[in-house]
Amino acid sequence: MTIIGSGLAGYTVARELRKLDKESPLRIISADDGGFYSKPMLSNAFIENKTPESLVITPATQMATQLNAEILTHTQVTQVDPQQHAVYVGEKRLEYSQLVLALGAKPIRLTFEGDAADKVLSVNNLDDYTHFRAALQNAKRISIMGAGLIGCEFANDLQPAGFSVTLIDPLKYPLGQMAPEKVGRTLQQALQDLGVSLYFEKAVKRIDSTDSGYRLTLTDDSVLETDVVLSAIGLRPHTELAAAAGLSVERGIVVDRYLKTSAEDIYAVGDCIQIEGLVLPYVMPLMNAARAVAKSLTGQLTTVNYPAMPVAVKTPACHLVVSPPPAGLAGEWEIEAEGQDVRALFYTPAHELGGFVLMGAKVADKMALAKQLPPLLA
Ligand SMILES: Cc1cc2nc3c(=O)[nH]c(=O)nc-3n(C[C@H](O)[C@H](O)[C@H](O)COP(=O)(O)OP(=O)(O)OC[C@H]3O[C@@H](n4cnc5c(N)ncnc54)[C@H](O)[C@@H]3O)c2cc1C
């Protein structure tokens, strides 16, 4: 068996597999150094002065021993050949009996005008975090594009660490795609109280170098001076390898409820997949999927179920849990708010709970409300 990818998805499949089958040969191929780490830590690592090395929980050599696996690190798979049951690393051909694609997702890159358009950073793995920390060495001012979950988390991490942070988003308020305005405004206030500057209903259109850093020109022609530009506008599933192999690909690598791709003996899990139209780049969905795949790999063909899976937003300035309603679901928000304690419940016209966002003390209602939500995949 072969797994491509050593992120949370690839390693969770391997761990679950080893609970069921300790001996079958297992190969893990990873473009990175194969160290096991928790990616969600990346957006609140700076304030704790975490180095990339200290974020690695288990290095690849130990993972290989623990998993009784061969781990090929710094090894980029360049081609998958489903007919031949082989993957290629350049000219080198490696056969598989069953293959799991756990390729993750890549930051979406926007194009900008200006001579420094290519200086935008994003943080989606440990190497990115290394570059980001290096860029922060002599920096004071950081501009973050995107006030979604990850942009707000970085702002909440970096401002208290002594930087001057600006958040820029084309929507009206933070978390504008998943939460009602009351929630966004409460989070906005909490970030402003920390000292974060926020620019809404504007986007960056131009990035130019200056003597001391960069000048950002926004869509309303306002201008901002900054030392570092971080993009947190979202991720796109890694589909190129699968598409080139002829696998069915839409927004993500298309899998069925067994996590099977359109090719025989090839499964996919994690941020790279699309299942029944859903692309859910979070930890809980990949854990559920990895457990199902591990069973299927050992011959017990198993479907994945997705219960409602609320996500905790790591903004200590304002505790927050989101379980947004599925895109396109009709309904309205009902909101109770007292200061930072906000309970926003999304009800369908039949008065069924379709989603929720909880803030402050109301976060305690998470489990009870999650039980009332319909599963995302029953
Ligand atoms: C800053 C940040 C904060 C987050 N916070 C949260 C949170 O609080 N809660 C939550 O639920 N989720 C959070 N997430 C999302 C969560 O971290 C991801 O859903 C999860 O880590 C994805 O794991 P993965 O294994 O699918 O992908 P990845 O971790 O991206 O792993 C992909 C692997 O595939 C390898 N690879 C890719 N292409 C090839 C190739 N051609 N050949 C060989 N190897 C290849 C890569 O090297 C890598 O090892 C956060 C994400 C980020 C970026």
Q: Tell me which residue of 216, 159, 302 sits closest to 151, measured CA to CA.
A: 159
Average pLDDT over residues 168-183: 96
Distance 199 CA to ligand 1 centre (A): 28
Closest CA to 297 of 138, 38, 100: 100
pLDDT in tens, 89-147: 999 999 999 999 999 999 999 999 999 999 999 999 999 999 999 999 999 999 999 99
Q: Quick check: 166 and 150 in contact, CB under 8 A?
A: no
Measured in whole angstroms, the distance separating CA 182 from the mean position of its chain's CA atoms is 25
Find out whether 357 and 337 touch, Cβ atoms under 8 Å: no
231 vs 215: CA distance, rounded Å:
15
Which residue has the CA at smallest separation from atom 3 of ligand 1?
40
Please count the residues of the chain.
Answer: 378
The answer, yes or no, to whether residue 203 has pLDDT greater than 90, is: yes
Q: What is the mean pLDDT of residues 285-308?
A: 97
pLDDT at residue 236 in the model: 97
3-class SS letters over 124-158: CCHHHHHHHHHHHCCCCEEEEECCCHHHHHHHHHH
The 10 Å Cβ neighbour count of residue 264 is 11
Tokens standing for 234? 């979202």
Tens digit of each residue's pLDDT (9 = 90 or more) over 99-110: 999 999 999 999
Segment 258-269 shows an average pLDDT of 98
- What distance in Å separates the CA atoms of residue 3 and residue 27, rounded to the nearest whole number? 6
Instruction: Using most ligand atoms within 8 A of CB, pick from 42, 129, 282 the residue to mutate for ligand 1.
Output: 282
Write down the pLDDT at residue 25. Answer: 97
Mean pLDDT value across residues 151-167: 97
Residue bearing the CA closest to ligand 1, atom 10: 282
Q: Report the greatest alpha carbon distance in the chain.
A: 63
Q: Which two tokens stand for residue 122?
A: 């994003």
Name the band, by pLDDT with cuts 50, 70 and 90, for residue 14: very high
Which atom of ligand 1 is least distant from the CA of 76?
Answer: 42
Kindly report, residue by residue over 32-61, the tens digit of the pLDDT: 999 999 999 999 999 889 999 999 999 999
pLDDT of the residue at 261: 98
**Alpha carbon 130 to its chain's center:** 18
Name the residue of 283, 311, 322 whose CB sits within 8 Å of the most ligand 1 atoms, as the mutation to test its pocket.
283
Q: What is the 3-state secondary structure (H, E, C) of 99-132?
A: EEECCCEEECCCCCECCCHHHCECCCCHHHHHHH
pLDDT of residue 378: 86
40 Cα to the center of ligand 1, angstroms? 9
Is pLDDT above 90 for 214?
yes
Above 90 in pLDDT, residue 244?
yes
DSSP 96: -
Which numbered atom of ligand 1 lies nearest the CA of 271? 26
Q: Which residues line ligand 1 (CB under 6 A)?
A: 4-10, 29-32, 39-40, 42-43, 76-77, 102-104, 123-124, 150, 238, 241, 270-271, 281-284, 286, 311, 314
What ranges in the chain are assigned the alpha helix state H?
Answer: 8-20, 52-55, 60-67, 126-136, 149-158, 181-194, 240-244, 283-297, 366-372
Q: Which residues, 6 or more positions from 151, have their beta carbon under 8 angstroms from its beta carbon?
A: 144, 145, 167, 169, 174, 230, 232, 233
Ligand 1 centre to CA of 210 (Å) is 34
Res 368: pLDDT: 97
pLDDT, position 327: 86
Instruction: Decide if 197 contacts 231 (C-beta within 8 A).
Output: no
Say whether 40 sits in a helix, a strand or coil: helix
**Per-residue pLDDT, 78:** 98
Across-strand partners of 142? 165, 228
- Is the pLDDT reported for residue 201 higher than 90? yes
**Domains and their CATH numbers in the chain:** 2-106+235-297 (3.50.50.60), 109-231 (3.50.50.60), 319-372 (3.30.390.120)
Which of 87, 89, 103, 322 most suits a substitution to test ligand 1, by most atoms within 8 Å of the C-beta? 103
Q: State mean pLDDT over 157-175.
A: 97
Over residues 267-277, the mean pLDDT reads 97
Mean pLDDT within 260-289: 97
Residue-level pLDDT at 27: 98
State the pLDDT at residue 369: 97
**d(CA 184, ligand 1 centre) in Å:** 26
